[in-house]
């Protein structure tokens, strides 16, 4: 009788252990690891805000979502990140407009050089265009959770650049991987040098390139001021970007949790945007302290640049940039200008 009881007890114990093990395996299988990559340097404000967003994701999901961040371009530039997201080796990225356009060209309509005069105008257009761009990106297998920016893009060069002719004498860094974009610059008479963005610093040091388009914050963080001497005050375009998650990864997250994760991403983007816009004057002051001279682009030179862009837009509309979203973005821009009382 005792043996029977012992046998029964052991059987019950084994059964309980099996149930517990099964429950643990089921719980572990339900964990969702989101591996995000960004070019933002480790230790920067951008890195910190993304880490805090990841912590908010884990808290909102009750630990179901595990967040891993790969900063500083360790996973490659934006083209590499998008490719790895498609393969599933990465799940998310804080991408620049270049990376977003690798997903869908429609994103380029909010990055047309000299098309937007100031932050208010850009914000107004982006508010109108976001749903359309997000829909296009989702159709390609990605979910855009939020937009951010890092201030205005300027020309940073080793010799002064005011006019298009000045820039045509430079060896310009251009994002590698987009042959059509490179050809556009060549046809316009410029000298583009296509490289991964992770190689800019070395290229500036060796003289492979002597001109780069970037925001002041990036030049400060990456210490490119050691290699460049001038910054043109021309506001070429806003340094836009966004937080993107692959659609298969997003759909693994329970539907009731997704709004909380999206809200955390939107808040992170807002913090980054506000930080960058506040810090822009300080960043330019830091560059000047390190010997970078600001080159003023006067009205006549600005007119030359606008003429160049207007001619190029006619070439790229419908071929390089989808016509419908481009026309919509420029129409919204004109509406925003009229509402604000600015001259069109």
Mean pLDDT of 299-321: 93
Q: For residue 32, give both structure tokens.
A: 């969702």
Burial status of residue 297 (CB atoms within 10 A of its CB: 0-12, 13-18, 19 or more): buried
Model confidence at 168, pLDDT cuts 50, 70, 90, reads: very high
Q: What is the pTM of this model?
A: 0.87
pLDDT in tens, 215-264: 999 999 999 999 999 999 999 999 999 999 999 999 999 999 999 999 99
CA 239 to chain centre: 8
Q: What's the mean pLDDT when you consider all of the chain? A: 91
pLDDT in tens, 179-221: 888 888 998 899 999 999 889 999 999 999 999 999 999 999 9
> Residue 54: in which H helix or E strand, if any?
helix 45-60
Q: What is the pLDDT of residue 6?
A: 54
Q: Domains in the chain, start-ordered, CATH in brackets?
A: 31-340 (3.40.190.170)
Q: Of 275, 240, 274, 271, which Cα lies nearest the Cα of 50?
A: 271
Q: What is the pLDDT of residue 340?
A: 86
């Amino acid at each position: 009788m005792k043996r029977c009881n012992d046998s029964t007890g052991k059987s019950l114990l084994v059964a309980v252990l099996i149930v517990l093990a099964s429950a643990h395996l089921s719980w572990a299988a339900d964990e969702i690891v989101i591996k995000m990559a960004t070019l933002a340097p480790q230790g920067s404000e951008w890195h910190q805000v993304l880490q805090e967003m990841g912590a908010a994701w884990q808290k909102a999901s009750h630990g179901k979502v595990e967040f891993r961040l790969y900063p500083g371009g360790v996973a490659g530039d934006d083209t590499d990140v998008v490719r790895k997201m498609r393969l599933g080796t990465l799940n998310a990225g804080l991408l620049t407009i270049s990376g977003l356009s690798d997903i869908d060209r429609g994103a380029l309509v909010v990055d047309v050089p000299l098309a937007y005069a100031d932050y208010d105008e850009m914000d107004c257009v982006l508010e109108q265009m976001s749903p359309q761009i997000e829909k296009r990106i989702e159709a390609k297998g990605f979910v855009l959770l939020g937009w951010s920016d890092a201030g205005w893009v300027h020309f940073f060069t080793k010799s002064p650049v005011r006019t298009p002719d000045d820039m045509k004498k430079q060896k310009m860094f251009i994002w590698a991987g987009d042959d059509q974009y490179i050809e556009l610059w060549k046809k316009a008479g410029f000298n583009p040098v296509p490289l991964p963005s992770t190689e800019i610093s070395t290229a500036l040091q060796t003289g492979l390139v002597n001109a780069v388009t970037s925001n002041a914050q990036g030049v400060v963080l990456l210490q490119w001021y050691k290699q460049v001497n001038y910054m043109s005050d021309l506001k070429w375009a806003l340094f836009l970007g966004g937080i993107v998650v692959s659609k298969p990864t997003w759909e693994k997250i329970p539907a009731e949790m997704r709004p909380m994760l999206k809200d955390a991403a939107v808040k992170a983007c807002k913090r980054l945007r506000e930080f960058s816009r506040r810090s822009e004057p300080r960043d330019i002051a830091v560059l000047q302290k390190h010997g970078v001279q600001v080159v003023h682009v006067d009205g006549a030179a600005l007119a030359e640049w606008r003429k160049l862009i207007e001619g190029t837009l006619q070439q790229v509309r419908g071929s390089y940039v989808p016509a419908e979203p481009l026309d919509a973005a420029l129409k919204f821009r004109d509406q925003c200008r009229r509402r604000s009382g600015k001259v069109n």
